[in-house]
């Protein structure tokens, strides 16, 4: 069995603005905002939340199954992912649409303004999970990541119907989906993965408070940027994991995806929630230190050493065994 990662598969167009977005915003005129930012850098990278998470898991020695919809222009991207250990045999290829595009500008304070074109992603609603489970001998977990909203609902409902454990990770699609739709994505999840802002938006849309969420999900995992990660489950003390130390800060795009990759890898290894969150935080730092969401390389011994420097020798020794394997 393996972990199936569903969600967007996209090409990232990443730009840098040499200033602060906040300095260009006039509060009294936000209702008719019209701005153009002259950027000083552009790089085109592989991305999409599902592909990013699957790539990160593969860097840690996992063999995740990628599920999403792409265009015929996916061939080179497929080769890249497969060379790095991602199972792409269940990716749906559209006959009419291009692979999705993510266009993002980051300022000097790491604030971002972004747009996303769905393209072939709209066909992800046609993907069924059962053939994937049959092909690989079962599903250990299904991560339902940001995707075509109808696909997210379909995957979640199929997980509940067939008894596949799933992680709810609505992220960017929270802004688009209604409260009832968001509730459908959460109920019965083994994990709810959000950042702190998304958690607030989710609660506003669903009307569910902390206790309500814990009635519906087993574990709530909330990333808080430089303030680390909070892990909560009913009847247990809240866990707080500090953010891992970075060597430098290059670009935050994909940091959350890398955290999810490390966290899910840790859980697949059988590690506890705290240790898994530490692995996720360490992997997230690798992405923060690079431009592009899949431009980093995990060297097992270096990863273990960096993990130990932040979280202690016991963490390094426990994780090193799985990295070596």
Per residue in 85-127, pLDDT (tens digit) is 999 999 999 999 999 988 999 999 989 998 888 899 999 999 9
**How does pLDDT run across 241-276, given as a tens digit for each residue?**
999 998 888 888 899 999 999 999 999 999 999 999
- Is residue 87 part of the annotated active site? The answer reads no
Question: What does the alpha-carbon distance between residue 199 and residue 192 come to, in Å, rounded to a whole number?
Answer: 9
Cα dihedral value 176, 144, 320, 47, nearest 10? -50
**How does pLDDT run across 28-65, given as a tens digit for each residue?**
888 898 989 999 999 888 999 999 999 999 999 999 99
Catalytic pick from 12, 87, 107, 257?
A: 257
CB under 8 Å to 16, separation ≥6 — which residues? 39, 40, 41, 105, 106, 107
Q: pTM (2 decimals)? A: 0.89
Task: Retrieve residue 182's tokens.
Answer: 């968001």
């Amino acid at each position: 069995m393996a972990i199936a990662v569903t969600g967007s598969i996209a090409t990232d167009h990443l730009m840098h603005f040499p200033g602060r977005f906040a300095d260009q915003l006039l509060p009294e005129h936000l209702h008719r905002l019209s701005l153009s930012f002259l950027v000083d850098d552009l790089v085109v990278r592989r991305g999409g939340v599902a592909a990013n998470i699957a790539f990160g898991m593969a860097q840690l020695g996992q063999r995740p199954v990628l599920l999403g919809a792409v265009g015929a222009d996916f061939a080179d991207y497929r080769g890249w992912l497969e060379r790095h250990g991602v199972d792409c045999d269940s990716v749906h290829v559209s006959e009419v649409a291009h692979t999705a595009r993510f266009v993002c500008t980051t300022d000097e304070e790491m604030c971002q303004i972004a747009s996303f074109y769905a393209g072939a992603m709209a066909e992800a609603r046609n993907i069924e999970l059962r053939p994937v489970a049959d092909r690989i001998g079962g599903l250990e977990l299904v991560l339902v990541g940001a995707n075509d909203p109808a696909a997210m609902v379909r995957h979640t409902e199929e997980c509940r119907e067939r008894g596949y454990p799933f992680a709810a990770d609505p992220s960017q699609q929270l802004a688009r989906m209604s409260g009832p739709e968001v509730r459908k994505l959460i109920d019965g999840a083994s994990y709810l993965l959000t950042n702190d802002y998304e958690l607030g938006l989710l609660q506003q849309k669903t009307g569910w408070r902390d206790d309500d969420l814990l009635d519906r999900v087993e574990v709530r995992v909330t990333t808080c940027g430089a303030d680390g990660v909070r892990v909560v489950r009913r009847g247990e003390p809240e866990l707080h994991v500090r953010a891992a130390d970075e060597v430098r800060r290059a670009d935050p795009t994909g940091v959350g995806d890398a955290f999810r990759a490390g966290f899910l890898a840790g859980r697949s290894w059988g590690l506890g929630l705290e240790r898994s969150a530490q692995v996720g935080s360490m992997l997230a730092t690798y992405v923060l230190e690079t431009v592009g969401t899949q431009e980093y390389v995990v060297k097992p011994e270096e990863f273990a050493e960096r993990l130990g420097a932040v979280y202690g020798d016991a963490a390094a020794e426990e994780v090193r065994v799985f990295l070596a394997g």
